[in-house]
Amino acid sequence: MKLNLLAILLLVQGFVFAQNKPTLIPYPQEVKWNEGQFELSNNTTLFVEDENFDTNHFINEIKFQTGIVLQVVQNSEEATILFSQTNDIKEEEGYRLAVTENSIQLKAKTTKGIINGSVSLLQLVGSTLEVPAVVIDDAPKFAWRGMMLDVSRHFFDVETIKSYLDLMAHYKMNKFHWHLTEDQGWRIEVKQYPQLTENSAYRTEKDGTRYGGFYTQEEIKEVVAYATKRGIEVIPEIDMPGHMVAALASYPEFSCTGGPFEVQTEWGVHEDVLCAGNERTYEFVQNILDEIMPLFPSKYMHIGGDECPKARWKECPKCQGKIKAEGLEDEHELQSYFIKRVEKMVNANGKKMTGWDEILEGGLSETATVQLWRDFHDKDAVRKIAEMGNDVIVSPTGMCYFDYDIVTTDVKQVYNYQPVPSDLAKEKHHHVLGGECTVWTERIPDNARLDFMVFPRIIAFSEALWVGQKQGFDNFAERLEKEYTYLDSKGVEYGPSSKVLDVEILNHIGELKVQAQALIEGVTLKYKKPSSEVFVDYNEAIEVKETGKIIIQGFRNGKAYGDPVSSNFVMHLANQANIELSTAPSKPYHKAGVEGLIDGRLGFESKFSDESWIGFNGEDVTATLTFDVPTSISAIQLRAYDEVGSWIMAPKEVEVLYSKDGKKYKSANKFKTDAISSDGDVLIYNWEGLSKAKAIKSIKIIYTNGGPLPKGHLGAGKPAWLFIDEIIIQ
């Protein structure tokens, strides 16, 4: 078959048009591209029928993107761009956008629909003056498209919150869940309890500095009003009855023990909680909620309810008395009793209570909304909650926790997020409201790191909740690539979309090399040796000849891309040994393998999930190192991780033994661990002065597991993880 010249030209033009389509994220439900385009100019007129729509913001965004200043007119007849309301659009957040060569018309039922349509128009405009002719009929798949931000571990000011509300609106996210209280800081003014902001909003860090901050009630109102203009509902969270140590630091009389307490500096779960047996505690909660809830027009009030240890309640006469007086079975039913009483307070203010999925413990009211996070706890939990008749917001750790690094949760994983279980009956689907990406800030200390962790993953999340996976990931990835120009224009310091590079340590008879590979197209690698301050191009495996860090960094378009991979080396004799373990490492913490204990690379001191640490769940481990040639030893250093908040405990005991023949062993030293850290510490065991340890054939290191998780821990009684890394022999 032959094609004539005109047909070829039409095909080429069609291909070019397809390649140059504006980026639409999240992609609309229905898009029909037409020929031609609307030309923007300083003479373009705008009329907005909806008085609640923030016209100035839209005009400013058009100016920011194009330099064009739209002219606002007083009636629709004069307008070439017309935003109008109509009951013809049935969905609350739906809209119809029609662009022709002569006009742009946006129709919606509600202000939120107008906002959503205006965002699509801004994306169509991009940075050009030509808006392609198109008809878009659109509405979201899920009503709840949220982001939760924890401002208690690290505080973010009003301007940062506003900038995130702008970005959320640009991707049609509509719920901002504001996590305002924690053990590490109380962030909202309560005038009846001034010490909550004078004292509980600040903590004294380990270096003696004072850290913290809070929002006044006027600032809260300012943020809520700003969010409303962006079509975003603000849901406050006051976490209770656990995660309340900051409040108890000022008002210890509402605890089981009476204190004293300090605002916590360590992350994790803490035993001291509100006393559920004290009637004055409920008065305290009532007063706080009655003062806070009117600041938020949202029909929802989040009361947390997660990670509440029961140790204090078990020992508290008031709590035990309450259990007996109310005919409760145990402390779990006491938590349910507490939650149900608080729910009545929430309902009395005309709101619905929502909480993390621990509010299920001991029984749940029919009207509570559950936010599920523990997908590891019960894979069928969403279905079970919906079948109970309760609404559920789906925020599983495996896809929605943006404090997890990109290696753990990448953009593709987030894009494939589907909140509705495949085995949930269709008539129950309405109970799955949607989902939230959650941003816990233990390791997010500033705005730059916040951007890095949230973007671009939140963009994939927005599309998953708006339209699902209709376009396919490859199509989304192409659009995302173009979207970085917009993020750059807004100064967003985004992170990578997936793991940037792989690093492997090669150990051949004690000769160490670092081998790296870029995993993303367009990324080049550079590295820096311990004795250098300058990055140089990576071309081949790097020989390790000195103690210190070799840092490898990905670069894209001339800018650092992703986190650098730092390999901290110690030159020592174990590099030349053979090693065996009595117990195989547990998945998924086995990437380093057995050789990872003697490859010369130290694990990160702030991150147990890096590839150098290896983990064992509830088991003792014996490492046996054998030298081909008998070796004199002067010192041994061992390392273990301790972070009980992450279910990791340092070994209860470490014993070092040595043998001159590889058969008979003599105990050299034992180390015992008493301290437990919630914050993540590397414990180092040093054995020195081995003047008699000459001509050693073999070394045994016996690590005794830390035992069951301690009383009061969320997993109390369950086996702890043991994490170890480099065995350093000098």
Amino acid letter for position 93: E
For residue 128, give the nearest of 262, 53, 22 by alpha carbon. Answer: 22
* pLDDT-flagged residues of the chain (< 50): 1-19
The radius of gyration of the chain's CA atoms, rounded to the nearest angstrom, is 29
Q: Are 304 and 343 in contact (CB under 8 A)?
A: no
The per-residue pLDDT for 18 is: 43
For residue 157, give Cα distances in angstroms to 163, 247, 404, 437. Answer: 10, 21, 23, 20
Q: Residues of CATH 2.60.40 domain(s) within the chain?
A: 499-568
Q: Are 515 and 577 in contact (CB under 8 A)?
A: no
Amino acid letter for position 2: K
Q: Are 351 and 300 in contact (CB under 8 A)?
A: yes
CA–CA gap between residue 197 and residue 219 (Å, rounded): 14
CATH number assigned to the domain with residue range 152-448, chosen from the 4 options 2.60.120.330, 3.20.20.80, 3.40.640.10, 3.40.50.10140: 3.20.20.80
Which fold, 499-568?
Answer: Immunoglobulin-like (2.60.40)
Q: Cite the DSSP H helix spans in 297-389.
A: 311-315, 317-325, 331-348, 381-388
For residue 60, give the nearest of 158, 165, 136, 166 by alpha carbon. Answer: 166
Angle between helices 111-125 and 55-66 (to 10 degrees): 10
Q: Residues of CATH 2.60.120.260 domain(s) within the chain?
A: 570-729
For residue 239, give the nearest of 182, 185, 291, 283 by alpha carbon. Answer: 182
The per-residue pLDDT for 89 is: 95
DSSP state of 720: P
Residues 6+ apart with CB under 8 A from 123: 22, 23, 24, 25
Residue 238 parent element (H or E): strand 233-240
Amino acid letter for position 116: N
For residue 354, give the nearest of 407, 395, 305 by alpha carbon. Answer: 305
> What SS3 class is residue 117?
helix
CA–CA gap between residue 172 and residue 120 (Å, rounded): 9
The per-residue pLDDT for 716 is: 84
Q: Are 385 and 409 in contact (CB under 8 A)?
A: no
Dihedrals φ, ψ of 427, to 5°?
Answer: -70, -10
CA–CA gap between residue 355 and residue 311 (Å, rounded): 21
The β-bridge partners of 108 are 85, 95
* Sign of the CA dihedral with 170 first, then 171, 176, and 181 last: negative
Amino acid letter for position 355: G
CA–CA gap between residue 270 and residue 426 (Å, rounded): 41
Q: Are 328 and 361 in contact (CB under 8 A)?
A: no
Q: Are 164 and 490 in contact (CB under 8 A)?
A: no
Q: What's the pTM? A: 0.88
CA–CA gap between residue 71 and residue 446 (Å, rounded): 39
For residue 72, give the nearest of 45, 51, 49 by alpha carbon. Answer: 45
Q: Residues of CATH 3.30.379.10 domain(s) within the chain?
A: 21-138
- What tokens were used for 585? 């490492």
The β-bridge partners of 684 are 639
The β-bridge partners of 1 are none
> What SS3 class is residue 9?
helix
Q: Are 358 and 309 in contact (CB under 8 A)?
A: no
CA–CA gap between residue 7 and residue 2 (Å, rounded): 10
CA angle 551–446–533, rounded 5-degree value: 25
Dihedrals φ, ψ of 160, to 5°?
Answer: -65, -45
Residue 236 parent element (H or E): strand 233-240
> What SS3 class is residue 441?
coil
CATH superfamily, with its number, for domain 570-729: Galactose-binding domain-like (2.60.120.260)
- What tokens were used for 550? 């070799």
Q: Are 370 and 359 in contact (CB under 8 A)?
A: yes
Amino acid letter for position 194: P
CA–CA gap between residue 643 and residue 628 (Å, rounded): 37
CA–CA gap between residue 593 and residue 632 (Å, rounded): 26
Q: Are 281 and 340 in contact (CB under 8 A)?
A: no
The per-residue pLDDT for 278 is: 98
* pLDDT tens digits, one per residue of 290-348: 999 999 999 999 999 999 999 999 999 999 999 999 999 999 999 999 999 999 999 99
CATH says 21-138 is which class?
alpha beta
Across 519-585, the runs of DSSP E, i.e. the strands, are: 524-528, 536-537, 542-543, 548-556, 559-569, 578-581
707: left (phi over 0), alpha (psi -120 to 50) or beta: left
Q: Residues of CATH 3.20.20.80 domain(s) within the chain?
A: 152-448
